[in-house]
Structure 1
């Protein structure tokens, strides 16, 4: 039993440690746009779009809010924070939800129209933005109704989509390392894999925890 608990905490520490590391890498990417710079990193490919005022607003709103959202999401799944520091859990959860509903999801929706890779990427990011909004809103309405299980499940789905900012880059790195594909073909693939795989894993986690609770 003790060995099993030690293994659980070890795996949990690796998971959280990995997430913190990847969030740190995202912070480094975000810092490139501070102060606002129109000719760096991703924006080098969007010189036509950046001439549009609404795209500039959407892009920087999305980039700056997303790094806060992905960091706050970590606090939502810690039993220690939820049980011993419930005020932190509630406040960070409210900010997480508000930023997605009012800033990150709407701005992502706008950006999806101008996504690299054509129609496939556009549809993929459009779907991602809509599902992100729906799952996050459902998490909010569930907790208002004190439906804790539904709230937890929708938060898992919401954060799975939030983490697509990380998984998209990981898939891109993996594909580029193994295959020699045109850049836009790679982007089309990762635009889909970046969130669908995450959502699939989220559903597995939800099903496993629901099944476990039924027999405990």
Structure 2
């Protein structure tokens, strides 16, 4: 993800993925702003999110866990999810892709907000469940690219077909895995 993000330094209107988004870049003034907010914030939420599932960090340094968690929540709620929603409206792959990316952004915002509200209300169990869901959606930045490579390598579909598929498989399996994990944890 760092390597992908570095493609967009310095700011350019035609770097990497933006080469196929020139209509949006030229016709929608805020598109490039929201795109760059989304790209740059993604690296921070991924790194912050990975640290949050360390039981050692939580037990030995709870203040660090709290501060990184607040940073994660702030970035997702005020930058990553809103910018994802905006650029999701203009996603490649037609209506199905747009619906998927918009749903992803809304759920990401919702799960993150609920996780934050649960910890404010001292409900650790629900906090953990919602933050796992939130990070499953954060992690879709990685799984989406993973599935894209697999699909292109195995099946050679057209680019728009790839988009329609990865728009959904980039995040739904992540969420299903977390729901299965949470279900099993509730049985213990």
Partner Cα separation in structure 1 for residue 63 and residue 149 of structure 2: 38
**What RMSD, in angstroms, separates the aligned Cα atoms of the two structures?**
0.8
Aligned residue among 70, 82, 98 for 2:74: 98
Q: Distance in 2 between matches of 1:43 and 1:34?
A: 13
User: 1:6: which partner in 2?
Assistant: none
SS at match of 2:173: helix
- The match for 1:157 among 126, 133, 136 is 133
1:4 aligned partner: none
Deviations 1:122-179 (A, max 9, x none): 0000000000000000000000000000000000000000000000011111111110
* TM-score under structure 2 length normalisation: 0.97
How many Å separate the matches in 2 of 1:153 and 1:38?
A: 39
Runs (5+) with no aligned partner, structure 1: 1-25
Tell me the TM-score normalised to structure 1 length: 0.85
Separation in structure 2 between the aligned mates of residue 180 and residue 31 of structure 1, nearest angstrom: 27
Larger Rg: 1
> How many Å separate the matches in 2 of 1:98 and 1:49?
27
Superposed displacement of residue 53, structure 1: 2.2
Corresponding residue for residue 34 of structure 1? 9
Tell me which of the two structures has the higher relative contact order, counting C-alpha pairs closer than 8 angstroms and 6 or more residues apart: 2
2:49 alignment counterpart: 73
Aligned residues: 187
- In structure 2, C-alpha distance between the alignment counterparts of 1:84 and 1:91, rounded to whole Å: 14
